């Protein structure tokens, strides 16, 4: 995290805010609720309290404005700059301006007001931008669902560096951002996608392009805002140019950046019994899709769209040497790459044996 240069802060912890005007995209009730949720992100982890007031002299004045709105920082129309805020202080200090020419939503559609408001309030309280891509104070927009959002540890450290800990007897903690070359790194799910390989972890995804050395690291919500965090399994259906991602008993179908209509669906559609409540890993190869659940696996026939009889079978019997639970698996040149914890095993599907073992994050150029 970074504090705003000069370390400005409010000398009091009970702050007031006023919503000066509204956007026509949302109802007043929705806006007031989203703004309240956004302030709660910060009050939950610090001694700060925020009370809405209608009088003119609120500490934090919130408004929607377009283009040049008299503060020497004109907005730029749809997209680009979404909002800005001023550091703690009198007058314009602490105020937050949203670009009125954006489409403001309360859904995963661009741009959800909640994450932008919570971010700008961080500036109103004295925080600058963080270079941690998982932090709320990261400069770029990313959708976050207010109902499941938990403030990142980096942001908690930042606000507590300014105002001290919360009065909560149990100090709140937040998630941290995985680092590619952490030797303990494990993956939640892996799938190929049109020649690239996607490595899922918590709310993040590494995107590896076969030819470029570059590996993109982003929030999953940047590509698929309506997907939940914590994907557990994923595979690519090459024939239909779709990838399927699984969490719990639900699954989604994605075509490129688009989430297919009519999802999520229930995994019982594949023919799983109700005893199966989650999939550990999945991979599709030559018209068959392999689902790994605990120490067993199921095989699904893509042609007949049905689970094959005689399953589940023991993983180790069919894939000799794969004797741990599978976190993730993908297929490359007739090899199944099995990931369990911080290690992977390359299994030659035709020779029916493991040919290589290594550290999982080797696939992230570590």
Partner 1 sequence: FPVSSASPEEKNRNIVQNYLEKFYQLPRYTYKSERKSKTNVIVETLKRMQRFFGLNETGKPNEETLEMMRKPRCGVPDSGG
Catalytic residue among 36, 109, 120, 332: 120
Determine the Cα–Cα distance for residues 174 and 158; give it in Å rounded to an integer: 12
Determine the Cα–Cα distance for residues 243 and 195; give it in Å rounded to an integer: 12
Q: Are 20 and 31 contacting, i.e. CB atoms less than 8 angstroms apart?
A: no
Q: Is 256 a binder of partner 1 (CB under 8 A)?
A: no
User: Considering only 47-55, 83-91, 252-260, 333-341, which stretch makes contact with partner 1 by CB under 8 A?
Assistant: 83-91
Of 248, 252, 292, 304, the C-alpha closest to 274 is 248
How does strand 258-259 pair with strand 60-65? unpaired
On the question of a cis peptide bond just before residue 312, with omega within 30 degrees of 0, the verdict is yes
Kindly report the number of other CB atoms within 10 A of residue 363's CB atom. 21
Q: How far is the CB of 114 from partner 1 (least distance, A)?
A: 14
For partner 1, the binding residue among 110, 150, 226, 249 (CB under 8 A) is 110
Q: Is 354 a binder of partner 1 (CB under 8 A)?
A: no
For partner 1, the binding residue among 9, 52, 66, 129 (CB under 8 A) is 129
Is residue 216 part of the annotated active site? The answer reads no
For partner 1, the binding residue among 83, 205, 293, 364 (CB under 8 A) is 83
Q: Is 207 a binder of partner 1 (CB under 8 A)?
A: no
Q: Is 116 a binder of partner 1 (CB under 8 A)?
A: yes
For partner 1, the binding residue among 5, 70, 91, 310 (CB under 8 A) is 5
How does strand 49-52 pair with strand 14-19? parallel
Determine the Cα–Cα distance for residues 2 and 282; give it in Å rounded to an integer: 41
Q: Is 365 a binder of partner 1 (CB under 8 A)?
A: no
Q: How far is the CB of 85 from partner 1 (least distance, A)?
A: 7
Q: Are 17 and 59 contacting, i.e. CB atoms less than 8 angstroms apart?
A: yes
Of 337, 9, 4, 45, the C-alpha closest to 192 is 337
Any idea which residue has 């994907």 for tokens? 231
For partner 1, the binding residue among 21, 57, 80, 353 (CB under 8 A) is 80
Q: Is 195 a binder of partner 1 (CB under 8 A)?
A: no
- Length, in residues, of the chain: 366
CB-wise, 103 or 323, nearer to partner 1?
103
For partner 1, the binding residue among 7, 81, 182, 301 (CB under 8 A) is 81
Q: Is 6 a binder of partner 1 (CB under 8 A)?
A: yes
Q: Is 93 a binder of partner 1 (CB under 8 A)?
A: no
Q: Is 152 a binder of partner 1 (CB under 8 A)?
A: no
Determine the Cα–Cα distance for residues 8 and 215; give it in Å rounded to an integer: 37
Determine the Cα–Cα distance for residues 62 and 98; give it in Å rounded to an integer: 8
Residues with a known catalytic role: 120
Which residues bind to partner 1, rule: CB under 8 A? 4-6, 73, 75, 79-85, 110-111, 116, 119-120, 123, 128-129, 131, 133, 139-141, 214, 216-217
């Amino acid at each position: 995290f970074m504090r705003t240069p000069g370390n400005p802060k409010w000398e009091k912890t009970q702050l007031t805010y006023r919503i000066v005007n509204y956007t026509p995209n949302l109802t007043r009730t929705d806006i007031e609720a989203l703004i309240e949720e956004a302030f709660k992100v910060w009050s939950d982890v610090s001694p700060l309290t925020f009370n809405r007031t209608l009088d003119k002299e609120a500490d934090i004045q919130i408004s929607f404005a377009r283009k040049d709105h008299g503060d020497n920082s004109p907005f730029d129309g749809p997209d680009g700059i979404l909002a800005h805020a001023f550091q703690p202080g009198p007058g314009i200090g602490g105020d937050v301006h949203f670009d009125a020419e954006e489409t403001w939503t309360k859904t995963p559609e661009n741009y959800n007001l909640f994450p932008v408001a919570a971010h700008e309030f961080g500036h109103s309280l004295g925080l600058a931008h963080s270079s941690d891509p998982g932090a709320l104070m990261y400069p770029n927009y990313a959708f976050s669902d207010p109902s499941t959002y938990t403030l990142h540890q980096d942001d908690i450290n930042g606000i507590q560096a300014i105002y001290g800990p919360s009065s909560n007897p149990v100090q709140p903690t937040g998630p941290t951002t995985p680092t590619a070359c952490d030797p303990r790194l494990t993956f939640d799910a892996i799938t190929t996608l049109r020649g690239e390989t996607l490595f899922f972890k918590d709310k993040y995804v590494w995107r590896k392009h076969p030819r470029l050395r570059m590996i993109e690291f982003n929030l999953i919500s940047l590509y698929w805002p309506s997907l939940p965090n914590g994907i557990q399994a994923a595979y690519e259906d090459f024939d239909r140019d779709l990838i399927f991602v699984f969490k719990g008993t639900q699954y989604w179908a994605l075509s490129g950046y688009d989430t297919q209509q009519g999802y999520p669906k229930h995994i019982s559609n594949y023919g799983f019994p109700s005893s199966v409540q989650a999939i550990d890993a999945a991979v599709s190869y030559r018209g068959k899709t392999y689902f790994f659940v605990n120490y067993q696996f199921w095989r699904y026939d893509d042609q007949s769209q049905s689970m094959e009889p005689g399953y589940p079978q023991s993983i180790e019997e069919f894939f000799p040497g794969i004797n741990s639970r599978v976190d993730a698996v993908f297929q490359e040149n007739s090899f199944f790459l099995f990931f369990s914890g911080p290690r992977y095993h390359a299994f030659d599907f035709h020779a029916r044996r493991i040919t290589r073992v290594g550290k999982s994050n080797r696939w992230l150029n570590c």
